[in-house]
Amino acid sequence: MRVPRWPWLIILLSCLNLAPGPAVPVLVETELPQVPLTATQVHQIDRLRQVPVLRAPSVLLADATTGQVLYSQDPTTPRPPASTTKIMTALLVLERNYLTETVRIPADLQVPGTTAGLVPGETLTIEELLYGLLLPSGNDAALALARYSGGTEEEFVAAMNTRAAELGLVHTHFVNPHGLDAPDHLSSAMDLLSLTRQALRHPTFARIVATATYSVRGHRWENRNRLLGQYPGADGIKTGTTAAAGECLIASATRQGQRLIAVVLGSQDRYAEATALLDYGFAHYTWQRLDLPPGDFRQVRGKDGPQLLLSLHDPQVIVLPRWQKSHLRSFLHLASVAQPGEPVGHLEFTLGGQRLCILPVYALSHEAAP
């Protein structure tokens, strides 16, 4: 069975950049060469086109590991981020302070909105305050952490903006560490995705945002993210609500080792819309590891005679619409002889006849052929 070309299909045209920072893969809408499609694949294509009906003005769905965007709607317009701001607060504290440092809560710590119920004069560790920041979304915890880590709230906010610039968050500007509405306190769905991916590099952050409840020193904090314990695989990340921002949610879920992140800004029903985005991603996309094929393809004749084992130094993972998986091909190009530790060729991947990427192949060590 054959069908006409589909100009709206998205394919990945370059290997993924997994280096630290906000860089994401380049996605290009293009035509695939005509390829034979099964009835199942045609059905998968039709379902892929049935994107969720979302009313939030700005949404985004992406793979957490690569940053590959699977669906977006106005992802770069700056909007009030509400308490998703606290992701940057947590990131900066984790980068600047030790978890075991202790903070004495000052008597003049007064801030409106949601609080962690901190008591003036009590002492908590940085780690404990991060729970108070990220679970009940404590504005008091945000201010306490900012004053301790930055010396003053103003100095900490300046550091937040410096870090945002370093991460390439071009649509982001912070005025406070908690996210209460303020003129020029803005971010975008794309920037918040990049910020979240950076924060998730810290195991402490990932653990805290996946925690449903936490008790310490007379406090019992519940995570305001209602997807935890309700949505299969939900493991974070942060809610936010103000009059100007509306309902905001950065949600994540992991299934079979693969994590998706949904960003919803300005919603009237953030949980339903985040659920729709995550459902769409898990239903219609598949994760494919770009690696050497098994068996004899992992060996090459060494210069001195014995066989050498082959390896990719950094195997990649890409995310594809499910119907495209059977059209992925790999071609191994090797030199006739090799020296251990040297590049000996390359592995080329194509999708529907178009080159996807080329990865260098290295010889590891002398091994006898099986």
Compute the chain's Rg from CA coordinates.
24
CA gap 186, 155 in Å, rounded:
18
Q: Please, what is the Cα angle at 244 between 243 and 245, to 5 degrees?
A: 100
Q: In which residue are the tokens 């995570």 written? A: 223
Side chain identity at residue 43, one-letter code: H
Which residue from 307, 238, 251 is spatially nearest to 277, judged by alpha carbons? 251
Query: How many Cβ atoms from other residues are within 10 Å of residue 5's Cβ?
Result: 12
Which of 58, 137, 194, 267 is an active site residue?
A: 137
21's torsion region: left (phi>0), alpha (psi -120 to 50) or beta? Answer: left
Which residue from 66, 60, 77 is spatially nearest to 18, judged by alpha carbons? 66
Tell me if residue 83 is catalytic.
yes
Which of 14, 58, 72, 86 is an active site residue?
A: 86
Which residue from 329, 256, 277 is spatially nearest to 54, judged by alpha carbons? 277
Q: In which residue are the tokens 């975008």 written? A: 188
Tell me if residue 149 is catalytic.
no
Tell me if residue 365 is catalytic.
no
Q: Please, what is the Cα angle at 251 between 245 and 252, to 5 degrees?
A: 160
Are 158 and 253 in contact by the 8 Å Cβ rule? The answer is: no
What is the largest distance, in Å, between two alpha-carbon atoms of the chain?
A: 76
CA gap 89, 159 in Å, rounded:
10
Rounded to 5 degrees, what are φ and ψ at 356? -95, -55
Which of 83, 187, 188, 252 is an active site residue?
A: 83
Task: Tell how far CA 140 is from the center of its chain.
Answer: 27
Give the contacts of 295 (CB within 8 A, at least 6 positions apart): none
Catalytic residues: 83, 86, 137
